[in-house]
């Protein structure tokens, strides 16, 4: 059994990209659950303590539950296809990214996250919510994803909903699905589509996309999204020689040790996460919550 090392660092210089290997989940759990479905126990991917999820009041917002499954890390063995796997336990994920309108409600209720009051340690005050007119008036469409938010602010938002940010493994697991396949990471047409989407990331948003096979919407098409452990690297033991610092960094060296050098969209996500700090805000970076 392959073991994995979770490396957490204070300064983000690398991140993790994972590809879905298989959803090795019981058949009963394979189908996404209906919106608002509840579960009593959620196991944390990082192995932290099991926690109870309150059954009442009901979960806020539309979520879907994804069954447990396995991911293969993008970096790791290039020869042993059974290596580099990490298990993802069942979790629930917001169907949509958090919107401007929802974030307006949040800052109304939590003044410490308003643009004029946010602490510099939590957000770069030069860029945080910079497209807003003032503390309580967001610019742009209210149903578009909120952007220019820091990791700290995203975490605080999710916490206020009795949720949390997804881990990178959870996010990648959910994002490996195309509209009709849960594991589309080997689907050349899907990968090509994502490259087109990412190449235009800096250009105006396209219409809200269809749900993917898990029932999740817009993981790729709208904005990059914060994850809880954006500044971590998940590598298998046998690729330690490459050095975590090298992952997602620069030049062709990023391909050294890559198990699947064709997954350009995953490399792009790597690069974005590698550049982030907890205070960072960007016009193409939003988030959604998980439980």
Cα within 13 Å of Cα(8), Cβ side: 5
Q: Determine the 3-state secondary structure of 75 from DSSP.
A: strand
Q: Which residue's CB is nearer to other proteins, number 4 or number 264?
A: 264
Residue 64 binds other proteins, judged by CB under 8 A: no
HEC assignment per residue over 108-162: HHCHHHCCCCCCCCCCCCCCCCCCCCCCCCCCCCCCCECCCCCHHHHHHHHHHCC
- In angstroms, the CA 77 to CA 138 distance is 46
Interface segment toward other proteins; rule CB under 8 A; list 47-55, 108-116, 174-182, 191-199: 191-199
Looking at residue 218, the DSSP 8-state letter turns out to be -
Would you say 166 and 174 are in contact if contact means Cβ atoms under 8 Å apart?
yes
Contact characters 143-182, other proteins, x per CB under 8 A = ----------------------------------------
> How many chain residues bind other proteins (CB under 8 A)?
34
* Sole binder of other proteins in the list 87, 110, 201, 211 (CB under 8 A): 201
- In angstroms, the CA 202 to CA 164 distance is 27
- In angstroms, the CA 246 to CA 239 distance is 11
Contact characters 238-267, other proteins, x per CB under 8 A = ----------xxxxx-xx------x-x--x
**Phi, psi of 189, deg, nearest 5:** -70, -40
Residue 16 binds other proteins, judged by CB under 8 A: no
Residue 78 binds other proteins, judged by CB under 8 A: no
- How many other C-beta atoms can be found within 10 angstroms of the C-beta atom of residue 288? 29
Interface segment toward other proteins; rule CB under 8 A; list 23-31, 106-114, 153-161, 194-202: 194-202
Residue 191 binds other proteins, judged by CB under 8 A: yes
* Sole binder of other proteins in the list 195, 210, 237, 240 (CB under 8 A): 195
Interface segment toward other proteins; rule CB under 8 A; list 38-46, 151-159, 173-181, 268-276: 268-276
Residue 58 binds other proteins, judged by CB under 8 A: no
Would you say 285 and 223 are in contact if contact means Cβ atoms under 8 Å apart?
yes
Binding-site ranges for other proteins (CB under 8 A): 127, 188, 191-193, 195-196, 198-203, 248-252, 254-255, 262, 264, 267-268, 270-272, 274-276, 280, 282-284
């Amino acid at each position: 059994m392959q073991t994995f090392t979770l490396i957490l660092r204070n300064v983000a210089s690398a991140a993790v990209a994972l590809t879905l290997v298989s959803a090795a989940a019981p058949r009963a759990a394979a189908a996404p659950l209906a919106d608002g479905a509840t579960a009593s126990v959620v196991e944390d991917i990082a192995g932290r303590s099991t926690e109870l999820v309150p059954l009442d009041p009901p979960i806020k917002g539309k979520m879907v539950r994804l069954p447990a499954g396995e991911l293969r890390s993008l970096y790791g063995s290039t020869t042993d296809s059974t290596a580099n796997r990490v298990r993802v336990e069942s979790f629930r994920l917001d169907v949509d990214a958090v919107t401007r309108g929802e974030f307006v409600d949040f800052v109304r209720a939590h003044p410490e996250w308003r643009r004029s009051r946010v602490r510099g340690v939590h957000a770069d005050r030069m860029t945080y919510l910079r497209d807003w007119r003032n503390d309580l008036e967001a610019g742009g469409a209210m149903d578009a994803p909120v952007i220019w938010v820091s990791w700290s602010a995203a975490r605080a938002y999710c916490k206020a909903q009795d949720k949390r940010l997804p881990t990178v493994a959870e996010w990648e697991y959910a994002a490996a699905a195309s509209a009709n396949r849960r594991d589309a990471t080997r689907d050349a047409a899907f990968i090509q589509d994502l490259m087109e989407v990412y190449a235009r990331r800096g250009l105006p948003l396209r219409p809200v996309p269809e749900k993917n096979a898990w029932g999740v919407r817009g993981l790729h098409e709208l904005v990059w999204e914060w994850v809880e452990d954006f500044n971590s690297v998940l590598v298998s033991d046998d690729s330690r020689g490459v050095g975590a610092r090298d992952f997602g960094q620069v030049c062709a060296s990023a391909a050294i040790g890559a198990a699947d050098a064709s997954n350009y969209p995953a490399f792009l996500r790597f690069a974005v996460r590698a550049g982030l700090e907890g205070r960072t805000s960007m016009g193409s970076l939003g988030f959604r919550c998980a439980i």
